[in-house]
Chains A and B, each alone.
Chain A
Amino acid sequence: MVVLDPAHGGTDLGARGTGGIQESDIVMEFAAEVRKALEQQGFQVVQTRQANDNPSFDDRSAIANAQRNAVFITLHIASTGLPGTVRVYVNSDLPAVTTANGFIPWDRAQAPFLGLSRKLGDLVEGMLAQRFKGSPDAAQTATIRQLRTTAAPAIAVEVSSVVVNDRADLDHMAPGVADAIARGTVAFRPLYVVPSTGGVQP
């Protein structure tokens, strides 16, 4: 299963461009394309939001954390960066901690999955770099709140950017981004061995 997270929503508009472009709107369009591409590859897809609402970071993570073999992909549009490029991020290192009963704390749920997240991120970024020149060859690292509490291979995909002159410039990127994410996820599937963690403790 792939949990697809169109970031922001509701009163949280995310990044805003001068031409009225809002990250919270655009990511919904990207999510629809990515979902279609993933389903064509045989994946079951669940979205963290279907409408213009804004679930909390924890609520979004909880959807993936409730599954045994989910992959979590959060979609963003940047305020900065070279227009027409796409960056994939994985979370920075977090010290892995387990409780006496084998649970991992909720606020460090990503720690046991960082290696898998890195593999998924590199595969997806590699696919994106082939289509979108100027994108990095490998996934980048950042301290992303949304990823920290997600107990699954988890990546953030950030498209540049809301400062394009014409919204169509972003719209034209959506099918390519969707195809690259789907291909990267397919390539990741045989590498996905769920780490043995007792579960996630809230």
Chain B
Amino acid sequence: MEPITELVTPPSKERWKFWLTALLVFVVVGAAITVPIIRRRMKRAARLQQQSEEQARRELVQTVPMNPSDPRVKAKLFWLSDSDNSLLAPVAVELPLSSDPVLRSKQVLNTLLAGPVDVELRTLPPDAVLLAFYILPDGTAIADFSEALATSTPSGIASEQMAVDSMARTLEANVPEVKRLRIVVHGQEVETLAGHVDLTGTFVVHTEVSQPPANPSAPVPGAAGKVGGILAPTLTAGNSAVKLAQR
């Protein structure tokens, strides 16, 4: 009877092939297990980096510090009227506003974005961020918003027009240096806000609104000076003073 070792052990010249095959199998199995894990971790790392960049950018651009030493004024913010959601109504909010028109514009627009006490009356989506704001020498303001302005504004003629009108009216009431408004998204011109209202032009920000309330039962002047009170005639999409300026 032959020794058992000779039956189970390959000859020495075949042994290296055995170990090489075993090594290759080990490498292939190991790669099959680890590569997807590494890929997932890389994707997660990239996502985290993207998020942190987005977060950092938001923190940089969103914070428009209000200087407590600035004079506190009753800013007029235009949100939906609580008596008729198809109308805009100004609400007096006491804020320390900068005298610098760009800073002041950012302050009032960020307050507009933050929304009123009653969230049902907001005109702009809560996740939209004002990324940048400039005023050109001719009085044209450029407001650059995050994509959420386009993706989160309810799609529709009325809702989109209200969003634009609320910005234009708020700037008109608080920043006389702004004559026209151009809205861009992430620095890019977009054709519409959410499928309807045209954003390819600039909106004229009229300096005076003298239209009477369209609805006799609409809020009327009388609560002036009271925080949260109505200060001026209510605007409707129909008598809105916001128009596209010359291209």
A contact set with B: CB distance below 8 Å: 7-8, 12, 14-16, 23, 57, 76-82, 87, 89, 92-95, 107-108, 136, 138-146, 148, 156, 158, 160-161
Contact = CB atoms under 8 A, between A and B. Distances in A.
A139 B237 CA distance: 10
B198 A144 contact: yes
Interface residues of B, number: 30
A12 B242 CA distance: 27
Contacts of B191: 57, 145
Interface of B: 85-86, 154-161, 164, 191-192, 195-198, 200-201, 203, 236-240, 242-244, 246-247
Contacts of B203: 143
A156 B238 contact: no
A141 B156 contact: no
A140 to B, nearest CB: 4
Given A143-B203, A145-B198, A148-B198, A78 B237 contact: no
Contacts, number: 98
Main secondary structure of the interface of B (DSSP, over half): loop
Contact of A136 (B159, B160, B196, B238): B238
A76 B157 contact: yes
Contacts of A14: 155, 195
Contacts of A89: 157, 237
Nearest 10 A-B pairs (CB), nearest first? A79-B154, A140-B238, A78-B156, A145-B198, A92-B243, A79-B156, A15-B155, A142-B161, A80-B159, A140-B237
21 contacts: A7-B195, A12-B195, A76-B196, A78-B159, A80-B85, A80-B159, A94-B243, A107-B247, A136-B238, A140-B236, A142-B237, A142-B240, A143-B161, A143-B164, A143-B197, A143-B198, A143-B203, A143-B243, A146-B196, A156-B196, A158-B157
